[in-house]
Amino acid sequence: MAVSVAKIIDRRQPDAIRKLRTFGQLRVLNDPATAIEQARFLASQYAAGTVRPHYEPQLTNLYNATWKVLADKHAAEPRAAEKAGNDMPILVRRRGDLVVAIPGKETAPLYVRDSDDDVAPSLVASIDGLLLDIKGADRARVGSSAEALFGKNVSRLSTMRYDVKINDVALHDIETSETVLNQCPWLRVMLAVAMEGLRGTDAGQLPSDRGLVLGRLSDVAFVAAKDVSFEINDQRILAPGDRPAYVFRRSGLSAILVSRVGDSSLTWSALQLCLPAICEAIELSPVANGMRLLAHELAAAGEQADELRLDEEVISRLGRTLQVEDGGGASVQQLIGERANLRMPWIRAAIHYGSGAEALNDCDRLEAEHGEDPARLTGRPITAACLHQRPHRKISSR
């Protein structure tokens, strides 16, 4: 809308709005009476390619708000629900990517998330399925309204019978104390540098406390598997052979990364293949490309994937790889150091419990040497070195 027209409307509301609606036949945003037309318009605009990538988050938020209006309207007046046309497009997700689908013409199932179950959406993403997942709305209402609009052309996740098996073991029965950080402790540093290297819209997706993202990474469990299979409504589906890794979210449990490359440990080449899934697990996919570059740089420098040797020069080199601005290295060190300071009391307690006072004294000595630079402290194999001094007790990592 032209700036001059917008100023006129601002000065003369609500009279100007009333006249525009009457004589210009304009519609009001999020009006329940025209919510279906609004949803159609938004999806059609995206399908036509008129929405620039920079504005996709705003479009998604507006589309979610539109569906909330639709869902609330259907909940209040279920008998007044109208059917959508067979050619009505909707915005859905396929493995996190925004795509346009037409329920009346799709040959593949179109799923609607209508519950808080985390496993089913992960399963749909794993089989490259189409998923309508509306944020900020009552999911049960969304499921009911979608079913009313599109009938049998959509499937509600709450009615789907499913199971995931890893090496013939059900997903919820998988027990592992291994994490992606155990496999590659460099991941924390790589993630911190990659976050610092984000620009534009991608940088806007970062939380104000970036330490929360590092916390998510610490909670990602790891398991290596040769066979991954799915059962959906009693139909067994084998996982595609070209997919290197899957990430599954489990209700009440940590997210789990299932690697299908290599053996039980991650090499640099295997890690690069798994990075998109790892970044999906921490809900920050934009850092995947940057972390790939950092993994390649570390491998070329002869670093071992399972052994972290950190110093200022390494952080500076990684920052230069992603062209991080001046001061970015200090921000990375501070971020890593903050997490180290929070964990040190627990680390010291674990060392004392597992290996006794002598090992704790060694820990204190190393902490004194690097206390002013917690980032370097995390780069030393401090816990392993101290615990192996006198391992008279078994420590559980769970």
103-133, pLDDT tens digit by residue?
888 877 889 999 988 888 888 887 888 999 9
Distance separating alpha carbons of residues 301 and 186, to the nearest angstrom: 13
What length is written for the chain? 398
Spans of the chain, pLDDT less than 70: 1-3, 5-6, 8-9, 12, 25, 80-81, 240-241, 327, 337-344, 346, 366-398
Domain assignments of the chain as residue spans, ordered by start: 31-160, 170-308, 326-398
132-182, pLDDT tens digit by residue?
999 999 999 999 999 999 988 888 999 888 888 888 888 888 888 899 999
Closest listed residue to residue 115, CA positions, set 9, 227, 4, 251: 251
**Residue 281 to residues 166, 213, 216, 278, 284, Cα–Cα distance (Å):** 17, 10, 8, 5, 8
Single pTM value for the model:
0.64
